[in-house]
Amino acid sequence: MRNKITVVGAGNVGANCAMWAAGKELADVVLVDVVEGVPQGKGLDLLQAGPVVGYDVAVTGANDYEPTANSDIVIITAGFPRKPGMSRDDLLLANYEVVKTATEQSAKYSPNAIIIVVTNPLDAMCQTAYMVSKFPRHRVIGMAGVLDTARFRAFIARELKVSVENVTAVVLGGHGDTMVPLVRLSNVAGIPLTELISEERLKQIVERTQNGGAEIVKHLKTGSAYYAPSAAAVEMAESILKDKKKVLPCAAYLEGEYGINGLFVGVPCKLGAGGIEKIYEIKLSAEETAALHKSAAAVQELVDVIKKKM
């Protein structure tokens, strides 16, 4: 019996999640969306791509959650996208309602699933899914660090004209401009970045990484990134479904790690069949710790608003 992935939201991010997952033959995929006909149409289109690409999984679409029953993974992408001049924080209350409903329905039909949240503002939406589902913390995970790290790695690789596969990078903190790319622990084939790129240029690359999403929104004008975010979410799903135990930066619910309690913050996690199987605590400098706590404080402000709604 094949694994099953539910993708909530059949927009650009959700449809591409379904495409990446089907292309890797990870699982049968169910696309769910409130707009009648959209998930069904996109699901059928992806199903018909199977003979061309060479995958045998089923991709279907639905407007209700009954067909999602007994999913192993639920990827929540539904929500309103960012528009130019709009911060992730502006999305908070609108997307809170969307994620709340998606979580309630997903948990009802798939009580043993692992939830991967993609909807922005990411860290606060993870908190919503965690509180609504009442799942243990290892089964609610936020996709943020994989994307942020990918952006950092892409910029470094382009700067040095080397393969992205040789670039290892570490990004901690909330998903947004308060994220903390750790230059000290990032390298190219083991060579520290500080030996390859000037301090001034590194600072520019870090700032571009922190504003990576906003840069794409500025270009698109009527939407936000979707290829890289969806690929990142599916990398996480793959590590879980194949029990690969990849160490990936994810938004995880912290209970004292890094001196942070009761919040979803981006940290290195081992992802396996049980979801988050280990959270790694890196020894940080005083400056890095301060930056991480500043990022966590920004997340806390959003969570405080959500808690008033619950």
What is the number of residues in the chain?
A: 310
CB 56 within 8 A of CB 10: no
Question: In whole angstroms, what is the distance from residue 181 CA to residue 205 CA?
Answer: 10
Phi, psi of 98 (to 5 degrees): -65, -50
Phi, psi of 168 (to 5 degrees): -110, 130
DSSP one-letter code for 273: T
* Active site (annotated) includes residue 138: no
DSSP one-letter code for 82: P
Question: In whole angstroms, what is the distance from residue 70 CA to residue 58 CA?
Answer: 15
CB 126 within 8 A of CB 141: yes
Q: What b/e string do you get for 174-206 counting C-beta neighbours within 10 Å, with b at 16 or more?
A: bbbbbbbbbbebbbbeeeebeeebeeeebeebb
Helices assigned H by DSSP within 75-211: 92-109, 122-133, 145-160, 199-210
* Closest C-alpha among 137, 125, 128, 132 to residue 277: 137
Cα-Cα-Cα-Cα torsion 259, 236, 76, 24, nearest 10 degrees, comes to 180
Terminal-to-terminal C-alpha distance of the chain = 38
DSSP one-letter code for 173: B
Q: CA of 285: how far to CAs of 172, 178, 251, 290, in Å?
A: 13, 17, 21, 9
- What are the residue numbers of the active site? 175
